[in-house]
Amino acid sequence: MSSTTIIGIAGGSGSGKTSVTNKIMKNLDGHSVALIEQDFYYKDQSHLTFEERLQTNYDHPFAFDNDLLIQNLKDLKAGKSVEVPTYDYTIHTRSDKKIAFEPKDVIIVEGIFALENETLRDMMDVKIYVDTDADLRILRRLIRDTKERDRTMESVVEQYLNVVRPMHNQFIEPTKKFADIIIPEGGSNKVAIDIMTTKIQALVQKQD
């Protein structure tokens, strides 16, 4: 089996990480590519009461089980298949469902804290930070949460001001300095995505 290229894609909530990820994956057509979302790795909270689970700050690094994510990536690099957990937001803990992943040429790890953990960063061949202005990020989050998650505008704004914004400034924005490339304006930046894809393709061919 050829070596595995690991790509990290980070950025704030609503920055356009998913759009960038999807376009890079589309451009890598012909290679075997897997996407592992960091959100799969929210910690299991089954030992807590439902009321205690409601207090979870999902915008803090401590909410993630990075040890399991790192172990899964090590196994995939070693040519082993893994079972990745999934999270049920309705009960605020892991669900019984798991997703089977097979080793691939390229594994993309996407999440707001993809570049926050040093051990995880050190496993990455390419580190990307999607940098988008705060006003665009809050507007995207507002549209998403009111349309897709049945939230009120007031609750989204309150959460953004009290939790999302301070956590972004404290934990996410500082990880920009670890990025090999910063992509402004997310998925609309075709030139940056094309350059990034060319770099990833060269890495994959070198490791074959």
pLDDT of 208 strictly over 70: no
Place of tokens 């939790």: 163
Looking at every residue in the chain, the average pLDDT score rounds to 92
Kindly report, residue by residue over 182-198, the tens digit of the pLDDT: 998 777 888 988 988 89
pLDDT of 1 strictly over 50: no
What does the chain look like in DSSP terms, one character per residue? -PPPEEEEEEE-TTSSHHHHHHHHHHHTBTB-EEEEEGGGGBPP-TTS-HHHHTT--TTSGGGB-HHHHHHHHHHHHTT--EEEEEEETTTTEEEEEEEEE---SEEEEESTTTTT-HHHHHT-SEEEEEE--HHHHHHHHHHHHHHHS---HHHHHHHIIIIIHHHIIIIIGGGGGG-SEEEETGGG-HHHHHHHHHHHHHHHHHH-
Mean local confidence (pLDDT), 61-84:
97
pLDDT of residue 30: 83
Binding residues for ATP: 11-18
Comparing 179 with 141, which gets the higher pLDDT? 179
Going by pLDDT thresholds of 50, 70 and 90, the confidence category of residue 2 is low
Mean local confidence (pLDDT), 31-52:
94
Binding residues: 11-18
Kindly report, residue by residue over 53-69, the tens digit of the pLDDT: 989 999 999 999 999 99
For domain 5-206, which architecture applies?
3-Layer(aba) Sandwich (3.40)
Distance in angstroms between the alpha carbons of the first and the last residue of the chain: 8
Domains of the chain: which residue ranges?
5-206
pLDDT of 87 strictly over 90: yes
Q: What is the pTM of this model?
A: 0.90
Kindly report, residue by residue over 93-149, the tens digit of the pLDDT: 999 999 999 999 999 999 999 999 999 999 999 999 999 899 989 999 899 889 887
